């Protein structure tokens, strides 16, 4: 375990394991087990791009739900995340783009709430420093 003292009192901690590679399984001991697959083949399974997208979408959505509650608003937020796999061998990267829609409020309010969520969501904060993450406040998903 890293020597960072913040590891001493986490609010929650988990472990994820993959000992089979891209075409196999990833799992949480005594928890979920997910079949994994390369996105460039037709084999069944979930790929890293999908897992990353779901992680960000879930984190932003949960953060938005809390922000809406704090502001006395009904929960109407919805998050869609696009993840692209780009590059060449040994230079692969992910591009991540989140679209945040908050119904029932004007665009300025929605944008303010979306920016707050980006600044509070731990996954968003982690991705922001990569240079490959963007987000926008959407008026629709059409």
Q: What is the pLDDT of residues 119-130, one digit of tens each?
A: 999 999 999 999
Asked whether 122 and 59 are in contact (CB, 8 A), the reply is yes
Q: What is the pLDDT of residues 6-55, one digit of tens each?
A: 999 999 999 999 999 999 999 999 999 999 999 988 889 999 999 999 99
CA distance 70 to 67: 5
Q: Give start-end residues of each CATH 3.30.300.20 domain in the chain.
A: 48-138
Mean pLDDT of the chain: 95
Instruction: Specify the pLDDT at position 86.
Output: 95
Share of the chain above pLDDT 90, in %: 90
User: Average pLDDT in the 111-125 region?
Assistant: 97
48-138, CATH topology level = GMP Synthetase; Chain A, domain 3 (3.30.300)
Share of the chain above pLDDT 70, in %: 99
Tokens of 18: 């993959």
Asked if pLDDT for residue 1 goes beyond 80, the answer is no
CB < 8 Å & 24+ apart, contacts of 135-140: 135/97, 135/98, 135/99, 135/100, 136/97, 136/98, 136/99, 136/100, 137/100, 137/101, 137/102, 137/107, 137/110, 137/111, 138/80, 138/99, 138/100, 138/101, 139/101, 139/107, 140/101
């Amino acid at each position: 375990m890293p020597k960072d003292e913040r590891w001493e009192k986490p609010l929650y901690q988990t472990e994820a394991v993959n000992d089979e590679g891209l075409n196999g399984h990833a799992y949480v001991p005594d928890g979920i087990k997910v079949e994994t697959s390369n996105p460039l083949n037709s084999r069944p399974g979930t790929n890293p791009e999908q897992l990353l997208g779901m992680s960000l979408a879930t984190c932003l959505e949960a953060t938005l739900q809390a922000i809406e509650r704090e502001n006395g608003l009904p929960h109407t937020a919805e998050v869609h995340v696009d993840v692209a796999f780009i590059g060449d061998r040994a230079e692969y990267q992910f591009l991540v783009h989140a679209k945040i829609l908050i119904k029932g409020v004007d665009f300025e309010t929605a944008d303010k709430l979306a920016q707050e969520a980006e600044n509070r969501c731990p996954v968003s904060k982690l991705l922001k420093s990569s240079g490959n993450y963007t987000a926008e406040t959407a008026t629709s998903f059409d």
